[in-house]
Amino acid sequence: MGERHLCYQIKMLSNLIFREMQKEDREEEEEITPAQGWVIGYLYENRGRNVLQRELGEQFHLRRSTVTEMLKLMEKRGYLLRVPSDEDARMKCLRLTEKAVKQHERVVARIRALEERVAKGFTEEELDTLFGQFERIKQNLSAENG
């Protein structure tokens, strides 16, 4: 039996998954960066509360200037609004526009459909085993860095 390379196989799977995610017809929407997608997802999940710009920097480990520029572009493209905070009018809370909500919901639907394709034919027990193996790989890599 030939030599097997676990990292190579993981990378090939990652490439295939990335390509599948990129197949979306982008004519109806502007391209957003992965970081902008994370911000939209975070704001979507936290719609019921006030989220301030500095929280995004802390959440995603980004510099203040990076967050500022990203939010300016997202605001310009119609993905978010900055509104005065109820507690302190000097502070601006971030709100998603309807455009951003629809974008997020399309992405989530695509991810769910891809997850179903990837998991096709696996039993729950096999998936549990696979997730356990993923966790062990993460621990192995963390142990080396820790």
pLDDT digits (tens, 9 = 90+) for 84-98: 888 887 888 999 999
Ramachandran bin of 30, using left for φ above 0, alpha for ψ from -120 to 50, beta for the remaining angles: beta
CB 138, CB 131: distance < 8 Å:
no
pLDDT 10s digits, 48-83: 899 999 899 899 888 999 999 999 999 999 999 999
HSE of 100, CA atoms in CB hemisphere, 13 A:
24
**Most confident segment among 27-41, 48-62, 81-95, 122-136:** 122-136
pLDDT of residue 79: 96
- Exposed, middle or buried by CB within 10 Å (0-12, 13-18, 19+), for 1? exposed
Pairing of strands 92-96, 80-84: antiparallel
Domains of the chain: 31-113 (1.10.10.10)
